[in-house]
């Protein structure tokens, strides 16, 4: 009997990933995954397209999203699973976030230009090609215009959280993100808490309806993973995990690389079924 794994955190070209959503089922099948969740930043248009690409029996695609909230000045990401991705209110919020992302990208271009980089906003739009615009597209544009040597250099020198051209996103609170996800039947899960280290917000997020914590993530060392496993158990919320796959040239994470056990997807599905 072969061991089966799942991957509950995947980005596509609809946000800042590089793979078309139609291609995800194929990649997932190739590495033997049983369940994958599409979790684009402020985008749900990849969900239907991933379903359309799924010709595999025994591969489940979970509709999801990754929203950004702000807590104590830090970027806190909240994943939403089994959302009703066609809900009008959700789509209106997503349109709002995307508009704000556009304005923010423009501000980052202005900052880069003030730093002497001859970058056009149009190049950023071209790199995003209709997706929810993020810093990765700004990085792509800087590479395209040969203003920097590599994608990673953009974050290291300019648009990382402490960089001179960083500009924050629209601030909704974690409670608002949780409410929005639950309002469309979704299971809210705190994404990669080890990357932001704002654990003091976790108890209030649980009170506000958080239902899970992502414990398997490429940025979590084994010790950090165990720490969040214990925290999830303590708070009585489920544990999830995923690769945060964005595709080639976007970090080292490969689809399925976290070997997330199947029971994590089963717990998620049980929560939805017993909603």
Looking at the Cβ atoms of 37 and 108, the one nearer to Zn ion is 37
Encoded one letter per residue, x for contact with ligand AMP by CB under 6 A and - for no contact, window 70-109 reads: ----------------------------------------
> What whole-number distance in Å separates Cα of residue 30 and Cα of residue 59?
11
Span of 117-125, 194-202, 207-215, 244-252 interacting with Zn ion by CB under 5 A? 244-252
d(CA 140, CA 152): 10
Contacts of 241 (CB under 8 A, 6+ apart): 8, 9, 214, 215, 216, 217, 258, 260, 264
| Interface with Zn ion, residue 244, by CB under 5 A | yes
Positive or negative, the CA dihedral 27, 29, 32, 36 is positive
Q: How far is the CB of 235 from ligand AMP (least distance, A)?
A: 25
Nearer to Zn ion, 66 or 258 (CB): 66
> Does residue 217 touch Fe ion according to CB under 5 A?
no
Count of CA atoms in the C-beta half-sphere (13 A) of 56:
22
- Residue 214 touches ligand AMP, criterion: CB under 6 A: no
Structural tokens at position 73:
């000045």
Using the rule CB under 6 A, give the single segment among 26-34, 152-160, 180-188, 267-275 that binds ligand AMP. 152-160
Q: Give the gyration radius of the chain's Cα atoms.
A: 18
CB-based burial label for 51 (10 Å; 0-12, 13-18, 19+) = middle
Which residues here bind Zn ion, judged by CB under 5 A? 66, 244
Which residues here bind ligand AMP, judged by CB under 6 A? 16, 41, 68, 134-136, 152, 155, 160, 169, 246, 251
Which residues here bind Fe ion, judged by CB under 5 A? 16, 77, 191
């Amino acid at each position: 009997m072969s061991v089966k794994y799942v991957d509950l955190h995947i980005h596509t070209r609809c946000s800042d990933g590089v793979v078309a959503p139609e291609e995800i089922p194929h990649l997932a099948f190739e590495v033997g995954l049983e369940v994958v969740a599409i979790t684009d930043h402020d985008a749900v248009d990849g969900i239907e397209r991933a379903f359309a690409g799924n010709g595999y029996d025994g591969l489940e695609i979970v509709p999801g999203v990754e929203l950004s909230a702000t807590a104590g000045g830090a970027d806190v990401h909240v994943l939403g699973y089994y959302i009703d991705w066609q809900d009008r209110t959700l789509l209106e919020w997503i349109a709002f976030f995307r508009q704000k992302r556009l304005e923010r990208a423009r501000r980052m271009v202005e900052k880069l230009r003030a730093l002497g980089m001859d970058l056009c906003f149009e190049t950023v739009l071209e790199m995003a090609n209709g997706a929810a615009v993020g810093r990765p597209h700004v990085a792509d544009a800087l590479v395209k215009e040969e203003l920097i040597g590599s994608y990673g250099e953009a974050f290291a020198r300019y648009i990382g959280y402490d960089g001179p051209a960083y500009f924050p996103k629209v601030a909704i609170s974690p409670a608002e993100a949780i409410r929005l996800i639950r309002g469309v039947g979704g299971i809210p899960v705190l994404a990669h808490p080890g990357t932001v280290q704002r654990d003091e917000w976790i108890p209030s997020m649980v009170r506000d309806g958080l239902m899970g914590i992502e414990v398997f993530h490429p940025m979590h060392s084994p010790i950090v993973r165990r720490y969040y496993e214990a925290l999830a158990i303590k708070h009585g919320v489920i544990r999830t995990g995923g690769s945060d796959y964005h595709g080639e040239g976007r970090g080292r994470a490969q689809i399925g690389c976290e070997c997330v056990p199947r029971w994590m997807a089963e717990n998620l599905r049980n929560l939805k079924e017993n909603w």
